[in-house]
Amino acid sequence: MLYSGFVRLLMRLALDEIPILRNMRGCLYSFGMASCGSNFQPSSDVILWGLEHMRFGRNVYLGPGVVIICLDRLHVGRNVLLGPHVVVSNGNHVFRDGMYRVGENETSPIHIGDGSWVGANSTIVAGVRIGKGALIGANSVVTKDVADYEIVGGVPAKVIGKRVV
């Protein structure tokens, strides 16, 4: 988390519309990650916690305001787009004795398949697997697995179509 904060501070003034600066930011983040492909482009105000658990394929774009809280494995495939203000969290607070516990977490890995697009303001929760080429509509909350090429949307996200390949 300290390293991630350092990268955010260092690159805070870099303009997002300049791809070379997003690439530089991605390169800096990649040093703390489990693995990261080429052309990783995070916008300047993304928040990435738990870099050591993250695996990103090549050609991944993280829009402005994306928040990733990674307490367990996270795999993001190649050619994936996360729109503005997407939240990805693979941890949940523990509920015991009628209360939620701060500092105690249940975790489960998340997988986002190659060529997927997660629309703006969507949330991906712990344990979800999003298939290859899937499309998550804006403002959705994904609580269950999404099959390859499915289009889902809503709260909670439900299948609304299938992409033709």
Boundaries of every domain in the chain: 2-129
Task: Indicate whether this model's pTM tops 0.85.
Answer: yes
Rounded CA separation 151/21 (Å): 32
Catalytic residue among 53, 75, 85, 93: 93
What is the tens place of the pLDDT at every residue in 54-89? 999 999 999 999 999 999 999 999 999 999 999 999
Q: Which residues of 26-49 are buried (b: 16+ CB within 10 A; e: fewer)?
A: bebbbebbbebbebbbbbbbbbbb
Angle between helices 2-10 and 19-30 (to 10 degrees): 160
Spell out the SS3 assignment of 145-156: CECCCEEEECCC
93 has catalytic annotation: yes
Q: pLDDT value at position 6?
A: 65
- Name the region of 121 (left: φ>0; alpha: ψ -120 to 50; beta: rest): left
| Domain 2-129 CATH class label | mainly beta
Q: Does residue 152 carry a pLDDT above 90? A: yes
20 pLDDT band, cuts 50/70/90, is confident
